[in-house]
Amino acid sequence: MRRDQYETRARIIKAMAHPSRLMMIDALEQGEMCVCDLQQIVGADMSTVSKHLAVMKGAGLVRDRKVGLQVFYSLRVPCITRIFACVEAVIDAERDRLMGREPEEPACAL
């Protein structure tokens, strides 16, 4: 596999690598939401939320749809939320390790 393909993957993963953006992705699993809804959820400045959304849109994670004054965002590929199960598996393994238990073959929720 070529380096630029890893760069493409990294761009998308980086677009998820922020707590506020993860919150939004999680929320959007329920369906499309306007920016104001997302702002409520992440509890940040309007301009900050808008920029986070621009990052995710640029990476192809979300799509936007304008309706009157509002802009509704939705996940372009809803199954992206399955990544969270993988991430949780790492968190679980880490917790086990810190508690002394280190399983030889860690369980995977997938």
Partner DNA sequence: GGTTTATATGGCTAATACGCCATATAACCA
Partner DNA sequence: TGGTTATATGGCGTATTAGCCATATAAACC
Q: CB-wise, 35 or 76, nearer to a second copy?
A: 76
Please report whether residue 72 would count as binding a second copy according to CB under 8 A: no
Exactly one of 34, 35, 71, 89 binds a second copy (CB under 8 A); that residue is: 89
Taking CA atoms, 71 is separated from 26, 32, 102, in Å, by 18, 10, 47
Distance CA 9, CA 87 (A): 16
Long-range contacts of 39-47 (CB under 8 A, 24+ apart): 44/20
| Minimum CB distance to a second copy, residue 105 (Å) | 8
Binding mask 42-81 for DNA (x = CB under 7 A): --xxxxxxxxxxxx--------x-x-xxxx----------
> How many C-beta atoms surround the C-beta of residue 53 within 10 A?
21
Q: Does 9 bind a second copy (CB under 8 A)?
A: yes
